[in-house]
């Protein structure tokens, strides 16, 4: 309409505001509906786990008290005594007779010395068979096993020919004893929890915690010759006196027998220690020795 009067400035302003109200309401409603739809869709649809994505790690245990409580009763302290005879040449003041012996009094003579050593072990049967390291009881004339309750019993060697520095001794406690559960290191992964229990430096029932740092380790002598193979490496603190004690998993199963530490200074643990692995073949060898010895033990 060309003849229509132009709209006044105030009228144009009012018209613009009036026409924008329905549009604003529509935008608000649309946004609200869109948000509700997005929430509903996100709640209903869960993203599928990508194929090959690592599973969620198991929760870290609050503590290891239950494992320690279960295993400590089967861990023992082993004391040995050995009489060492040494040959000397010289003046033996204790046997020299100035009235009859020739002069000068230098001659060969023998001295005896009683040597005591300390180690650990683990009860593997309710009738008193104990698993330990062969080097713990090597050459001993007397072996004594002390239980968790402080009672000590004489022990006798059953076998030190299990290979990999393992030995079995037997005590007669006159009662049924708690026995450890033997695990299988082949089912244990690197990074799994590892708990060592033993008597480092004579401090009985010491519990230390670490992980399985590696498997299949080889130890060599200074000459380079292989001494032991297929060992478990752990950073659980192990020191002198832990030898023969158990290394257990988070379920309290014995997966290894603590054997050695790596210590360039020779002083003590620096976070690298080794244990003899318990495998199906190891359990078979242990059972064979125990079964054969049980009737007359």
162 & 77 share domain: yes
- Would you place residue 223 in the very low, low, confident or very high pLDDT band (cuts 50, 70, 90)? confident
Q: Averaged over 137-141, what is the pLDDT?
A: 93
* Out of 42-51, 161-170, 198-207, 258-267, least confident range: 42-51
Could you report the per-residue pLDDT of 99-117, keeping only the tens digit for each? 666 665 666 767 777 878 8
Q: Averaged over 163-189, what is the pLDDT?
A: 96
**Which residue has better confidence, 79 or 162?**
79
Domain extent for 192: 181-293
Q: For residue 67, what pLDDT is reported? A: 96
Pick from 7-11, 43-47, 190-194 the range whose average pLDDT is largest. Answer: 190-194
The residue among 125, 149, 178 that closes a domain is 178
Alpha-carbon torsion, ordered 122, 128, 132, 138, to 10 deg: 150
The residue among 178, 196, 216 that closes a domain is 178
141 & 187 share domain: no
174 & 185 share domain: no
223 & 273 share domain: yes
Provide the CATH number for the domain around residue 133.
2.40.10.10
Does 13 fall in a domain? no
Active site amino acids: 135, 165, 243
- Would you place residue 2 in the very low, low, confident or very high pLDDT band (cuts 50, 70, 90)? very low
Q: Averaged over 135-151, what is the pLDDT?
A: 95
38-66 burial, b at 16+ Cβ within 10 Å, e below that, comes to eeeeeeeeeeeeeeeeeeeeeeeeeebee
Instruction: Indicate whether 262 pLDDT > 60.
Output: yes
168 & 206 share domain: no
**Which residue has better confidence, 97 or 150?**
150
166 & 242 share domain: no
Number of domains in the chain: 2
Does 133 fall in a domain? yes
Task: Output the six-digit token pair for 199.
Answer: 């008597």
**Which residue has better confidence, 5 or 274?**
274
Instruction: Indicate whether 52 pLDDT > 80.
Output: no
158 & 193 share domain: no
**Across all residues in the chain, what is the average pLDDT?**
81
Does 235 fall in a domain? yes
- Give yes or no for a contact between 68 and 96, defined as CB atoms under 8 angstroms apart: no
Q: Provide the whole-model pTM.
A: 0.73
Q: Averaged over 180-188, what is the pLDDT?
A: 97
209 & 128 share domain: no
Does 237 fall in a domain? yes
């Amino acid at each position: 309409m060309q003849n229509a009067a132009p709209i006044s400035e105030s009228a144009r302003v009012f018209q613009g505001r009036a026409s924008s109200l329905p549009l604003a309401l529509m935008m608000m409603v649309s946004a609200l509906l869109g948000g509700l739809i997005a929430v509903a869709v996100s709640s209903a649809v869960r993203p599928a786990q990508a194929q090959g994505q690592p599973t969620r790690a198991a929760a870290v245990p609050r503590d290891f008290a239950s494992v320690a409580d279960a295993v400590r009763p089967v861990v023992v302290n082993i004391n040995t005594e050995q009489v060492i005879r040494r040959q000397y040449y010289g003046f033996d003041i204790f046997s020299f007779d100035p009235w009859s012996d020739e002069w000068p009094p230098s001659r060969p003579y023998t001295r005896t010395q009683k040597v005591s050593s300390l180690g650990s072990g683990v009860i593997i049967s309710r009738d008193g068979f104990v698993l330990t390291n062969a080097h713990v009881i090597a050459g001993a004339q007397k072996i004594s096993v002390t239980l968790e309750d402080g009672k000590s019993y004489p022990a006798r060697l059953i076998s030190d020919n299990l290979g990999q520095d393992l030995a079995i001794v037997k005590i007669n406690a006159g009662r049924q004893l708690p026995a450890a559960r033997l695990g299988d290191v082949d089912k244990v992964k690197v990074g799994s929890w590892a708990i060592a229990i033993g008597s480092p430096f004579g401090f009985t029932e010491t519990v230390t915690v670490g992980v399985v740092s590696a498997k299949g380790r080889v130890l060599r002598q200074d000459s380079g010759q292989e001494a032991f193979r297929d060992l478990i490496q752990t950073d659980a603190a192990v020191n002198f006196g832990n030898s023969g004690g158990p290394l257990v998993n988070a379920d309290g199963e014995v997966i290894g027998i603590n054997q050695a530490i790596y210590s360039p200074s020779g002083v003590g643990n620096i976070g690298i220690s080794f244990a003899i692995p318990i495998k199906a073949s190891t359990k078979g060898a242990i059972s064979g020795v125990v079964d054969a010895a049980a009737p007359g033990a």
